[in-house]
Structure 1
Amino acid sequence: MDLTILYRGPLASCDFDCPYCPFAKRRDTPEQLRADRAALERFTGWAKDQSGDRLSVLFTPWGEGLVRSWYRRALVELSHRPHVERVAIQTNLSCRTDWLADADPDTVALWCTYHPGQTPYDRFVAKTRDLADRGIRFSVGVVGLPEHLEHARRLRAALPPHVYLWINAAEGHTYTDAEAATWTALDPLFPYSRHPHRSAGLPCRTGASVVSVDGEGTVRRCHFVRAELGNLYDGSYRAALAPRPCPLAVCDCHIGYVHLETLPLYDVFAGGVLERVPAPGSLG
């Protein structure tokens, strides 16, 4: 079985203080951190043992995972398992990058977000150059707020040409056609982010070949649909895997709508769906 898993454990703390993020500067207690570590290690152990399946894993923590040793270790360990096709994580790239020397660069990948005002620009760019020098697959993105435009332009000019710069439409922000055109000049795929996608009743890969898993092992079709399909660790979820239409009116997050079968994004991101890396030549 080919299965893509979006894992989100209880970790919620972050070292940044972004005004557009509800989890900025939240602090997990030592007990919460121990629980997150135990949950992640349980999941990693399960994933390592699934040699009869073909797995792809994206870690999508509410907080910043790579400042925690157990997330770095999970990516390194899973990257060396032959049945793991890809293991990736969403990160603000505030961590060091030397740990990637122990990972398999053909399997590990990073989905990086640059948050202006939260980290020195030169430091962030230096880390992206280190990733490129190490041969690590990664994308870099910015939230499309007006005050971020010049930062995004500067970042695009500094990144290697092959590195995709994505722009996420800011939640609650309405873009004029002229504003959208400005962002699209930086990210040709910005139109997919600009408006929520109608999804009610439409076919989606989630619940069939893509699932969401939490720290308890509860399996859902995606992060945004709360109905449970079973549990990862007792195998009860497997019987529930089947094609099914989306029950929500709209889908407005990339990690959700990228899996809609009515959109061409699996072709656009062929080979790089989890880390948001477009296929060569797909951007024109």
Structure 2
Amino acid sequence: MKLSILYRGPLASCNYDCPYCPFAKRRDPPEALRADRAALDRFVGWLAAERGTEISVLFTPWGEGLSRSWYREAIVRLSHLPHVERVAIQTNLAARPGFLAAASPAKVALWCTYHPGEVTRSAFLERCREVAGLGVRYSVGVVGLPEHLDEARALRRDLPDEVYLWVNAADGRSYDAAAEADWTAIDPHFGFSVRPHQSLGADCRTGDTVVSVDGDGTVRRCHFVRDPIGNLYDGSWRAGLRPRPCPNTTCDCHIGYVHLRTLPLYDVFAGGVLERIAALR
């Protein structure tokens, strides 16, 4: 059995102050950080014992995980487990990536977001070079706001050709044909992000070979369907795994619609679905 898990614990704090993010400069109180660490430790312990399943993990924290030592430690530990195929995390790359030297580079990947205004392009690119120097695969992306367009073009120019640069359509923003063309020139797959996908009744891998897990172990088919299918720690989730149609009218987030069987994205991102690394053509 193969299973992909999107894990999101209670962490909700970030060191950046992006105006388009509700978690900007949010601070978790000490008790929330302790709860997040305990939840992650429990999840890693469960995963280490789950040797009958080939598992890939994407950490999708609301805040910035790599600034917390327990996420760095978890990534290193999981990368050395024989039944873990991939461990990836969404990150702003503010934390130094040197800890990855202790990880198995073939199993680790980073989904990195560049936030103009929070970090200089030169500093961000230096972190990317550090990651590459450690033999770790990564993707880079930006939010498709008009004020980010010139920086995104420069970032594409400065990144190695083999590094995929993705663009997320900004929430609540519409794109005319010219704007869509500008962003598509940077990310050839921007068209998948720029408009919501009709998903009601569509065949989706979530709830079958892909699940989301909360800090308390609640298992759902994905982050965008609140109905639980069981709990990780009492084993009830296993009986809930099965193919099923999407109950939502639309799906407009990459970590959701990438798993729709009605879209070709498992081919587009072959070998890098969780970390959003497009296959080279």
User: TM > 0.5 between the two?
Assistant: yes
The one-character-per-residue Cα deviations of 1:232-279 (angstroms, maximum 9, x if unpaired) are 011100001000000000000000000000000001111100000011
Q: Determine the structure 2 residue equivalent to 1:71.
A: 71
Partner of 1:27: 27
The residue that corresponds to 1:136 in the other structure is: 136
Shift of 1:63: 0.3
Deviation of the 1:280 alpha carbon: 2.1
Aligned mates of 2:278, 2:49 — CA distance in 1: 30
Distance 2:30 2:223 in 1: 26
List aligned pairs for 1:95-134, cutoff 5 A. 95-134=95-134
Deviant stretches of 4+, over 2 Å: none
Other structure's SS at 2:185 match: helix
Shift in Å, 1:148: 0.1
Match of 1:173 in 2: 173
Question: Distance between the aligned counterparts of 2:68 and 2:197, measured in 1?
Answer: 34
1:82 aligned residue: 82
- CA-to-aligned-CA distance 1:104-133 (integer Å, 9 cap, x gap): 110000000000001122111100011112
Contact 1:200 1:246 in 2 (8 A): yes
After superposition, the C-alpha distances for 1:17-70 in whole angstroms (9 at most, x for unaligned) are: 000001111110000000000000000111111111000000000000000000
Q: Unaligned 5+ residue runs, structure 2? A: none
Give the letter aligned to residue 189 of structure 2: L
Which residue is 1:276 aligned to?
276
Aligned to 2:50: 50
Q: Distance in 1 between matches of 2:143 and 2:196?
A: 15
Q: Indicate if the aligned counterparts of 1:129 and 1:159 stay in contact, CA closer than 8 A.
A: no
Identity %: 68
Q: Gaps (5+ residues) in structure 1?
A: none
Q: Does 1:146 align with 2:146?
A: yes
Partner of 1:259: 259
Amino acid in structure 2 at the alignment position of 1:100: L
Question: Which residue is equivalent to 1:61?
Answer: 61
Amino acid at match of 2:145: L
1:186 counterpart SS class: coil
SS in 2 for 1:212: strand
Whole-angstrom distance in 2 between the partners of 1:260 and 1:136: 27
Q: Distance in 2 between matches of 1:93 and 1:271?
A: 22
* 1:197 matched residue in structure 2: 197
Contact 1:72 1:99 in 2 (8 A): yes
Counterpart residue identity of residue 70, structure 1? W
Residue aligned with 1:10, SS: coil
Which amino acid in the other structure matches residue 174 of structure 1? S
Shift of 1:73: 0.4
Letter in 1 for 2:72: R
TM-score when scaled to structure 1?
0.98
Distance 1:62 1:176 in 2: 30
Amino acid at match of 1:152: A
RMSD: 0.5
